[in-house]
Amino acid sequence: MRRRLLVDGSSDESEYAGSDTDGGVESDTDLTDDETCVDEDNEQGEGVEDQAWLFADENHLPEHYLQQLETFDETEYTKEDYKDSSTRLLDRIEDQWNQCWTYLGKDNLRAYTTVSVRTLHTFFDWLLDQRQGKGGRKRRGTKFASSLGTYWKVYRLVYERATSVKIDGKMNRSMHKVLRKLAKKHGLKKIGRDKACMYIEDQTLVLQTNLETTEKRYSHGRYRIQAHLYLQLGGFTANRPQALLNLCYRHIQVTLLRDPEGGPHRVLLEFTFEFTKEFLGIKDMNTFPLPEIIYDESLIFSPHVFLLGVLFRDQAFAAYNLTSPEELSRLHIPQSRNELPLRLNQELDDIPVFRKAVRTPNGWVISDDEPLPYSTLLPWIRMLGQITGFAQVTRPYSLRYAGGKAFNENGNVSEAMQNLMMGHANIGTFLKHYLSRRVTVDTQAVVRGIQPQDALMRAACTMSRSIDRRRPRRLTPEQSASVNDHPTIRSLLDRRERLKRTIKNATNHLKYKKLNRTINQERQRQRHALLQDVKERWEYEQPVRDVEQQLAGIEIKDGLEVVHNDLLPAQKELIDAILAHPGLSLEEEIRRRNKAIRAVMRYCGIEEGRMYPSRPKRSSGCITLPGKSEDASQLDLDEEALEAAKVLVYKETRPRVCFVCLGNENLPTELRTHSFHTSGDLSKHFKRKHLANTRKGESIRCNLCQVDLNNKMHWQRHAHDVHGTVSLGAT
């Protein structure tokens, strides 16, 4: 704070002698400046000059502040400060409160001044009976007593928002009894959702599944890399999912750091999480430093490999010639310094690291600035857990639960540091909302005073304990078709048949289309319910069958071996690079890291695409020559296939190969050269995948012909005249 001069113009100059700071704070006041010092010869004018700063200037007129004083709205600052998602939840409960009394014809009970235990009991009983939402959509209904407790907490906030006072403590205590009775009346389960922790053992398996699986195909290769990096950072920092997804390049610092113990220089990554949960104010930003591990057993847990691969792919470094891992390896730290900061380009400061893929006429590309939504990430994590074989549902928060528990049990992490890393005000938040209800301590060993079986207890509490890849994840074709026998669907199908008989050209009629949508929605609901039932029955019946078969001497097939078919060449390269063994020397280890970063860079540029039904592969008659590797032979075959496909799309009148996919170098060769069953199937593909993603007035480029086309119609004409793909008349 700037030291103020005394009114009479004097100050203790001895405090400033030989220094331009005050208490360690720099002073920007020059004591020789005539504008800041009072002229001793002009004592009569000292009061005027000292108060001259109070006079108005053209930029700060009094009228501006007086108008602001008159129009100031205090309500905006006196209400609670909630996130948009929380506000939407409060609004929904408020809407349901109003709907309840409108439905019951008691509009006078809407007022919060009339709230009583009687009206609250009626409202929550009505709420639990609701089976339809907006637009007549069916609701899944409330299944857990804990959910009812959440509704009550939200209602209390709605009441406080409307009245600016809290619900009376006596009424709050009475409502606990009301909620218990309502939970019993509606058959709500008392056991809530298990807070499954994805421990490091579980995370290893999920990361390996993400690398190797072909059951889960991402639209773009960078999605697989982003999923891997998210799992790593989520496990190491235990941050909230949205805080991770909002990570931008300005939040990342890359530094070449000297090893104080004399080892090789390390790459240090520092992540500053700005977008943590905010309530009644902005929280300070936490920074997590992650040093590189040399001779790591596996690079599967190395955020350095995956993040550096993304950074090099995006050309994110400010140094124009730092564009590859090999150039990074050539850098050194000058003798007189301990670090070499590797600055990122400031133009990328607000660009998210995790970005979504968007469809274009030529395929999928990564957006330049749109962040990856949580709604996209959540199904990825769930699917990876299912493919791995876990019984529990894996969620992004599973990483936060496990990370918090690891921090809590580590002797090097104090309670204050844990609260700082987790973003909690006190340890009570962790104990109430994050700590699993499963006791992980060998209680019998503690009570008996014997050596605890820590490894066995750890194994008993991991998600990996439940791995069984035989566990059903989808319905069989027969099971899926069986939902048509459900009475509700049977009735809807009969109505559709009657409609077809009574209305001419019924398939184009609005009623018929609406009924068709209803049938499809009901089928989907019944399939979901059937799948849940199949899973629950399997969990109970399969272990019984296993025991019976073992005792009968029948060999049980493990089903744990996973064969990953149809690996893309880039995916195979990525797997080999990440799972490579540590080098025997520092040079070999650096080459291993650089090779892995290169593989990540390449994979960020490919488009995985969906898998087409496999067909019997024809024998190419190609014999691998001595000294010629199998990979080199495959490259030759790919080139031959591409050349043959190019001949087809130019020479044949009605080819069956898509010229757009063929010109997309980011697609695998198999998808680029895919031959459809008929030329009509190709036309459907062209309309659905390419034309449908063309915006009005957008210019398109034919990568195969290397020509730019002015608009959608021009593209269609080019497709017909040059490549024989019929699409004219398409919308």
Tens of pLDDT, residues 513-542: 999 999 999 999 999 999 999 999 999 999
Coil, helix or strand at residue 523:
helix
Q: What is the H or E stretch that residue 243 is in? A: helix 241-245
At residue 602 the predicted structure's pLDDT band, cuts being 50, 70 and 90, is: very high
Tens of pLDDT, residues 576-594: 999 999 999 999 999 999 9
Distance CA 638, CA 633 (A): 9
Residue 79's pLDDT is what? Answer: 63
Using alpha carbons only, what angle is made at residue 308 by residues 312 and 241, rounded to the nearest 5 degrees?
120
Name residue, tokens 């309530």.
279
At residue 10 the predicted structure's pLDDT band, cuts being 50, 70 and 90, is: very low
Nearest to 210, CA basis, from 345, 458, 388? 388
Q: Is the pLDDT score of 48 beyond 70?
A: no
Using alpha carbons only, what angle is made at residue 74 by residues 71 and 76, rounded to the nearest 5 degrees?
105
Handedness of CA 716, 717, 718, 724 (dihedral sign): positive
Q: Is the pLDDT score of 549 beyond 80?
A: yes
Distance CA 120, CA 313 (A): 57
Q: Is the pLDDT score of 336 beyond 50?
A: yes
Nearby residues of 543 by Cβ (< 8 Å), 6 or more positions away: none
Residue 284's pLDDT is what? Answer: 67
At residue 434 the predicted structure's pLDDT band, cuts being 50, 70 and 90, is: confident
For residue 552, the tally of other CB atoms under 10 A from its CB is: 7
- What is the arithmetic mean of pLDDT over 446-452? 92
Q: What is the H or E stretch that residue 287 is in? A: strand 286-291
Nearby residues of 61 by Cβ (< 8 Å), 6 or more positions away: none
At residue 644 the predicted structure's pLDDT band, cuts being 50, 70 and 90, is: confident
Distance CA 333, CA 325 (A): 16
Q: Is there a contact between 312 and 604 (Cβ–Cβ < 8 Å)?
A: no
Task: Concatenate the DSSP letters of all residues of 574-631 into one string.
Answer: HHHHHTPPPPSSHHHHHHHHHHHHHHHHHHTT----PPPPP-PPPP----PPTT--HH
Q: Is there a contact between 669 and 675 (Cβ–Cβ < 8 Å)?
A: no
Distance CA 108, CA 100 (A): 12
Share of the chain above pLDDT 90, in %: 45
- What is the arithmetic mean of pLDDT over 86-91? 86
Residues constituting the chain: 731
Handedness of CA 514, 515, 518, 523 (dihedral sign): negative
Cα separations in angstroms, 315 against 97, 344, 367, 595, 644:
53, 9, 15, 18, 35
Residue 53's pLDDT is what? Answer: 54
Tens of pLDDT, residues 399-433: 999 999 999 888 889 999 988 888 888 898 888 88
Mean pLDDT (the chain, rounded):
83
At residue 59 the predicted structure's pLDDT band, cuts being 50, 70 and 90, is: low
Largest Cα separation within the chain, whole Å, is 114
Which tokens belong to 424? 């909690």
Distance CA 500, CA 508 (A): 10
Which tokens belong to 177? 């009894």
Backbone φ and ψ of 728, nearest 5°: -60, 140
Backbone φ and ψ of 437, nearest 5°: -75, -5
Nearby residues of 431 by Cβ (< 8 Å), 6 or more positions away: none
Using alpha carbons only, what angle is made at residue 154 by residues 152 and 156, rounded to the nearest 5 degrees?
70
- What is the arithmetic mean of pLDDT over 504-508? 84
Nearest to 361, CA basis, from 712, 648, 697, 642? 712
Q: What's at 575, amino acid-wise?
A: I
Tens of pLDDT, residues 254-263: 999 999 998 8
Residue 228's pLDDT is what? Answer: 96
Which tokens belong to 26? 């720099």
Residue 161's pLDDT is what? Answer: 86
Tens of pLDDT, residues 389-402: 999 989 999 999 99
Task: Return left, alpha or beta for 223; rule: phi > 0 is left, psi -120 to 50 is alpha, else beta.
Answer: alpha
Name residue, tokens 């184009």.
508
Residue 623's pLDDT is what? Answer: 35
At residue 54 the predicted structure's pLDDT band, cuts being 50, 70 and 90, is: low
Name residue, tokens 């995006």.
314
Nearby residues of 115 by Cβ (< 8 Å), 6 or more positions away: 159, 167, 171
Q: Is there a contact between 196 and 437 (Cβ–Cβ < 8 Å)?
A: no
Lowest mean pLDDT among 157-161, 635-639, 670-674, 681-685: 635-639
First to last CA, the chain: 67
Nearest to 149, CA basis, from 112, 171, 182? 182
Distance CA 376, CA 719 (A): 33
Q: Is there a contact between 425 and 433 (Cβ–Cβ < 8 Å)?
A: no
At residue 340 the predicted structure's pLDDT band, cuts being 50, 70 and 90, is: very high
Which tokens belong to 288? 């997590």
- Burial class from Cβ neighbours inside 10 Å (0-12, 13-18, 19+) for residue 715 reads buried
Q: Is the pLDDT score of 3 beyond 50?
A: no
Using alpha carbons only, what angle is made at residue 229 by residues 218 and 455, rounded to the nearest 5 degrees?
110
Distance CA 99, CA 110 (A): 9
Q: Is there a contact between 594 and 602 (Cβ–Cβ < 8 Å)?
A: no
